[in-house]
Chains A and B, each alone.
Chain A
Amino acid sequence: MSESVKRSIWVYHLNTGGCNACDIEVLDALTPWFDAERFGVKLVPSPRQADVLLLTGPVTIEALPKVVNAIEAMPRPRYIVALGSCGVGGGIWHDTYSTIGGVRELLKILEARGVKVDGVYYVPGCPVRPESILYAIALFKGLVEKKVKSEVAYSD
């Protein structure tokens, strides 16, 4: 996968208005039991030090300018990992008035502003399992194969 991020991934964790369940699972992935630091993952306090933006929550309109600022502050190559149903597709709040509905809408806004993102990873789950996060990290580093694929089934 990402040839440009061969070393340890430094991660900036950004909650964009979610319910905190995914954030707790992120913490769980960092505990000695699951230990995401095996793969070199480290949470950093500033987007300027980060390779990956770990985005949870459905991106509320209130949080949108801050999210765009944080992504603009990240050095290239920059990656976004959208965690949870809210991050990926807006989740239960995908059509409410106060959210833009997940990372797919955010990418359109970023494209309109000319902010480039080198890759986006989608991690569904409500909330995501810590193992799901570990799987996403392993996929990012090229350790495991991708399992999901789009299926079209005809009834007759």
Chain B
Amino acid sequence: MVRVLKPVELIVVASEKGRVTVKYPYQEPLVTSDFRGAIRIDASKCIGCGACVKACPPNALELLESPERLVIRYFVGRCIFCWRCVDVCPVKAVVGTREFELATDRVEDLFNYTVHRRAECRECGSGFATRRMVEYVTEKSAVSEYYANECPECRKAKILNAVARRRGGV
């Protein structure tokens, strides 16, 4: 059976044991090396492929598309810190940090944007993919820049034209 301590004895035990409360806002936090915090997108490496956007379970990463720009929007307030984006990024542009002190009084502070410029089609001049992605593809595989600089619509039309010519001619 547990013996109930008298108040005097309690004071003795407490003074021997010392204080357990952390002084947190005035000291270092207790994060370990395994802790997963907010992610950071390195814009100098990012190619705008959207792999992280597809992998993101709560759609914290979103693609905002327009003819001139492609923007990856990261809403920290919806992120669940699973780091799937870190795993799938082909160029290691998404880096996980150990930041967790994300409290704010303005929700606008929680949005981060990575802005890409569109590549321009050689034929019709419209924007498609991103410049960085075209560079990445031509560097990676033996696709000539002649093909890589065309938008998917023009490429499709060209192939259809070629097929039609072949059927009619022969």
Contact = CB atoms under 8 A, between A and B. Distances in A.
A122 interface: yes
A129 to B, nearest CB: 5
Contacts of B130: 155
Interface residues of B, number: 46
Given A154-B115, A155-B44, A131 B24 contact: yes
Contacts of B90: none
Interface string A76-90: 000000000100111
B25 A144 contact: yes
Contacts of B60: 85, 89
Interface in A61-97: 85, 88-92, 94-95
Contacts of B131: 155-156
A153 B100 contact: no
Given A92-B80, A122-B107, A131-B100, A32 B115 contact: no
Interface stretch (B4-12, B70-78, B138-146, B148-156): B70-78
A118 to B, nearest CB: 11
Interface of B: 20-22, 24-25, 29-30, 38, 41, 43-44, 46-48, 57-60, 75-81, 99-105, 107-117, 130-132
